[in-house]
């Protein structure tokens, strides 16, 4: 069987889980856990179950998004073809090596920390430790949001980026030339707006009023887009 080594998931005896052909610390090949195809498929299943439709896998989710890891493993192993080998260390490996920090494990429980389309409370996440945030919009959306404020559309929370580069990356999913809004997080937080750190570069909030919003100069965006 041929594997793509770029995203292959393995375990190093000394340095734990990693993605790729060899451990980035000691360069050992480690123990194979799953192929890139299996990792991609499992990641999609986990995202769906923990963000959008836990009931489809027969999972019980509490008000803060937590589900039992053992139940998740049993549901995937019995309900999805080709995953009868799945064990808890495979789930932990996916979580530990996720470059976006999308999941959280606490004891025997697991949850997604952002991206939900179902209504859960994430107010126990850490408060954001930075004071400026960014949000990508299309040219048509920019003036409307600057006037009315920034509120959830297809997800239950507003998702903000911690850097201009990450905001552009997110925005290019929808448009080739995204415009970037700046959120004055320092002022917003001082006036009672709660912004939580939900991933390595993702922050969430219930909404941002227009007085905390401004638009990044187009010339700065164009310079970054050319890189």
- Look at residue 90 and tell me if it is in a domain: yes
Q: Do residues 27 and 62 share a domain?
A: yes
CA distance linking residue 35 with residue 31, whole number of Å:
12
pLDDT of residue 5 exceeding 80, the answer is no
pLDDT classification of 131: cutoffs 50, 70, 90: very high
CATH number at residue 185: 3.20.170.30
Select from 58, 84, 112 the last residue of a domain.
112
Residue 173: DSSP 8-state: T
pTM of the model: 0.88
* pLDDT at residue 226, as a whole number: 67
* pLDDT at residue 128, as a whole number: 96
What is the domain range of residue 52?
A: 9-112
Tokens standing for residue 161: 């980026």
Tokens standing for residue 197: 């750190």
* pLDDT at residue 175, as a whole number: 87
Query: Under 8 Å CB-to-CB from 155, ≥6 apart: which residues?
Result: 115, 116, 117
Q: How many domains does the chain contain in total?
A: 2
């Amino acid at each position: 069987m041929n594997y793509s080594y770029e995203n292959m998931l393995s375990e190093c005896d000394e340095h734990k889980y990693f993605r790729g052909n060899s451990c980035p610390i000691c360069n050992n090949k480690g123990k194979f856990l799953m192929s890139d195809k299996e990792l991609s498929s499992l990641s999609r299943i986990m995202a769906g179950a923990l963000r959008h439709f836990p009931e489809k896998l027969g999972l019980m989710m509490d008000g803060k998004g937590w589900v039992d890891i053992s139940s998740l493993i049993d549901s995937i192993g019995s309900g999805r073809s080709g995953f009868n080998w799945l064990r808890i260390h495979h789930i932990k490996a996916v979580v530990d090596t996720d470059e976006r920090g999308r999941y959280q494990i606490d004891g025997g429980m697991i949850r997604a920390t952002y991206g939900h389309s179902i209504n859960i409370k994430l107010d126990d996440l850490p408060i954001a430790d930075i004071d400026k945030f960014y949000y990508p919009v299309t040219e048509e959306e920019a003036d409307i949001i600057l006037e009315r404020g920034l509120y959830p559309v297809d997800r239950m929370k507003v998702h903000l980026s911690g850097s201009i580069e990450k905001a552009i990356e997110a925005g290019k999913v929808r448009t080739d030339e995204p415009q970037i809004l700046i959120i004055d997080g320092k002022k917003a937080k001082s006036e009672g707006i709660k912004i939580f750190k939900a991933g390595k570069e993702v922050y969430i909030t219930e909404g941002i009023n227009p007085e905390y919003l401004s638009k990044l100069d187009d010339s700065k965006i164009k310079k970054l887009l050319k890189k």
